Amino acid sequence: MTITNILLTIVVVVVAGYVIFYYIKKQKTQDAEDTLNVDDQTYTLDTMKKFVKRRLDEITKVNLYDIGLSEEELKRRKNKKYELKKALKGCTYGDVNDKKYIKELIYDLLSTEYGVNETNISKAIPFDVPSLLTPQDKFDILIYLYKKDFGYEALTEMIKKYNLAELKYVEGDTKPSYVITSDEIREIYEKENVQLSFQDKLSVVVQRIYQHYKGYSSIDEVRDMNIDGVSGGVSGLPESFLSQVAQTDSKDYLNQVAEHKVPRACDSIWIFFQGKSIRLAFLSFGTEAELKRVCQNIYKYNNPGQLSDTNGYKINEMKDGSRVVVVRPSFSETWAFFVRKFDVKRSTLEQWFKGEPGCEESIELLKYLVKGARIISITGEQGCGKTTMLMGMIENIYETMNIRVQETAFELHLRKIYPTRNILTFRETDTISGQEGLDVQKKTDGSVNIIRRGCNRPRSILDDTSSPSCIKIHIIYTPRKNISKLSNSIKKLNVKNRCIQIRKNSRRASCTSIKL
C-alpha cells in the first residue's frame, strides 16, 4: 500500500468520524420543534398525542450520564426522572394524584414546546364553532367546568340539576329506560352558555390526549367521579356477531352498523348511579381495540396476574379502593369491565333511613342488635344500600371488640375510617379460599366477624362459633331464600357428623335477617 493510499484512508476515516460525531451531537441537542413540520394535521389530537408520547419516552429513556451535568443537577434530574416513571405507572392504576402530575406535564409540553396557542387549538377541538362539537366534546367541556366548581361531585350535580336519572322513551324503543342521550347533552351545553378561556381549552385538550394515551378512554373522568360504578362492553353488538351477520344477506343491517345507527359493544358505557344503571348513549370507545386496551389496563394494580384466554376473568381492586372485574372472550362474548366504587366515609344509620316514618324505632332496634352481639344477615338486591347500612352498623360496635372481615376483594377499607381500632381484613386469592380465610380468623382474637357475600361458602355463619357476633352481607332477596341457600352450602360439605354439629349450633344460635 502506497503512502498516498494510506493518507487517503486516514482522511476518509477522520471525515467519517467527524460526520458521525456531528450527527450524534446534533441529535442530542436537537429540540422537539426542530422536527416539527407545521401543516394542517399538526394540531390534531392524534398528532399531538404522538408528540406527547415521544417526548415522554425521550425524557424517561435519556442517559443522564452522557449529558455532562454537575453532581447536584444530575441528582435533581434523576429524581425527576424517577417521579415521572412512577407517575406514568401509577396513573394507569387509578391514582388521581399521578394522573394530575402527568396532565400538568402534558400541559407544559403543549404550551411551551409544541406551540399550541389561541389560534391553532381549535384545530384539535372546534371550541369556537359549537355546531361542530360532538356530544363527547360538549360533555368533556361540561364536566371540566362542573369539576372546577364541584370537584368529584361534578357528574352528580349535573345529573341532579337536569333530572337525567329519570326513565325516558328513546326513539325506536317501546319501553322506557335509564339513558342519557346526545340530544340532552346538546341542550345542556346550550343552557349553560359556556365561555372558555385559552387555559380552559388547553386543559380540555390535555384531558382528551391523556385519556387515550394513559387513561381509560372515554370513561376516564367518569370513573373518577363520586358515583356507584361504571361499566363498559355490556351492551351492543360484539365483533363476533358482526362477522356472522356478514355471512348472511343482511346487508341493510350491516350498513346500519357501519353508520353507527346500531350500537356496537365498543359504544357501551354505563354508570351505576344511586341504584340505577344508566346508559351513556353519547359516549363511546370508538373501536373494539380501544375497549380491549381499557380492559387490559384497568385491572393491573398490584399485579393480579395475566388476563388470558384460559383465565378469562379477573377480580381486583384499583388504587382508590374501587373493585374492578374484567372479562374477555372466550369466557364472555366480548371484552367488558365493571368498576364498583365505594365511598369511604363514616356512615351512620340516620343517613341511611333519611328521616322516613318509623325510622327512630328501626335505628334503635339495629343498634341493640349490634351491641347485643347478635348474628345478623343483611340481604337485598344490588344497589339497595347493604354496604351503606353495614357501615352505619359498624359504628355501633363497641370499641373493645376486635373486628375481622372476610371479602372477595378489599372494598370496605374500615381502617381508613377507624384507624385506631383493632381491624383486620382478609380476602380470597387464587390459592386461599374464603372458607380457609374464615378458619384462620378463628385464631386471630376476633370478637366480630363480618362476611361479605359469604353465603356461597359452606359453614359461613352457623359454624363460626369462635366469635360472639357475626354480620353477613350478600345478594339474596328474601330471608327464606337466605336460609335455603345457607342450607345448601352446608350440604356441600357432605360430612354427616359436621352437619349434625352445625344443626346443634343453629338451634342455640339466633340469627336476625334484615332484608333491604
* pLDDT given for residue 462 in this prediction: 44
Q: Are 91 and 83 in contact (CB under 8 A)?
A: no
Task: Report how far residue 392's alpha carbon sits from residue 398's, in angstroms, rounded to the nearest whole number.
Answer: 13
The grid coordinates listed for 501 are 354439629
Report percent pLDDT > 90 for the chain.
Answer: 41
pLDDT tens, 175-187?
899 999 999 999 9
Say whether pLDDT at 332 is over 50.
yes
* pLDDT given for residue 500 in this prediction: 43
Query: What average pLDDT does the structure give for the chain?
Result: 81
Q: Are 503 and 486 in contact (CB under 8 A)?
A: no
Task: Report how far residue 202's alpha carbon sits from residue 121's, in angstroms, rounded to the nearest whole number.
Answer: 7
Q: What is the pTM of this model?
A: 0.77
Q: Which of 50-59, 73-82, 93-102, 214-223 has the least mean pLDDT?
A: 73-82
Q: Tell whether omega for the bond before 231 is within 30 degrees of 0, i.e. cis.
A: no
Give the pLDDT band (50/70/90) at residue 303.
confident
For range 295-305, the mean pLDDT? 91
Q: Are 205 and 116 in contact (CB under 8 A)?
A: yes
Q: Which amino acid would we find at residue 409?
A: A
* pLDDT given for residue 330 in this prediction: 86
Ordered structural domains, the chain, with CATH? 129-340 (no CATH), 349-515 (3.40.50.300)
* pLDDT given for residue 3 in this prediction: 76
* pLDDT given for residue 137 in this prediction: 96
Q: Please give the C-alpha separations between residue 511 and each of 201, 373, 479, 489, 508, in angstroms, as whole numbers.
A: 58, 11, 10, 16, 10
* pLDDT given for residue 31 in this prediction: 43
For range 318-331, the mean pLDDT? 90
Q: Are 165 and 280 in contact (CB under 8 A)?
A: no
Task: Report how far residue 147's alpha carbon sits from residue 71's, in angstroms, rounded to the nearest whole number.
Answer: 42
Q: What is the 3-state secondary structure (H, E, C) of 125-158?
A: CCCCCHHHCCHHHHHHHHHHHHHHHHHHHHHHHH
Q: Which one is predicted more confidently, 158 or 63?
A: 158
Task: Report how far residue 407's alpha carbon sits from residue 424's, in angstroms, rounded to the nearest whole number.
Answer: 11
Report percent pLDDT > 70 for the chain.
Answer: 78
Q: Which one is predicted more confidently, 474 or 71?
A: 71
Give the pLDDT band (50/70/90) at residue 455.
very low
Q: Which of 49-63, 251-265, 278-292, 322-336 has the least mean pLDDT?
A: 251-265
DSSP H or E stretch at residue 73 = helix 71-90
* pLDDT given for residue 514 in this prediction: 65
- 3-state SS assignment for residue 325: strand
* pLDDT given for residue 34 in this prediction: 44
**Phi, then psi, of 237 in degrees rounded to 5:** -85, 125
Say whether pLDDT at 300 is over 70.
yes
Give the pLDDT band (50/70/90) at residue 461.
very low
Say whether pLDDT at 486 is over 70.
no
Strands 423-427 and 403-407: what pairing? Answer: parallel
* pLDDT given for residue 263 in this prediction: 83
* pLDDT given for residue 497 in this prediction: 46
Say whether pLDDT at 466 is over 60.
no
* pLDDT given for residue 204 in this prediction: 96
* pLDDT given for residue 30 in this prediction: 46
Task: Report how far residue 18's alpha carbon sits from residue 420's, in angstroms, rounded to the nearest whole number.
Answer: 68
Say whether pLDDT at 104 is over 50.
yes
Give the pLDDT band (50/70/90) at residue 344.
low
Give the pLDDT band (50/70/90) at residue 40.
low
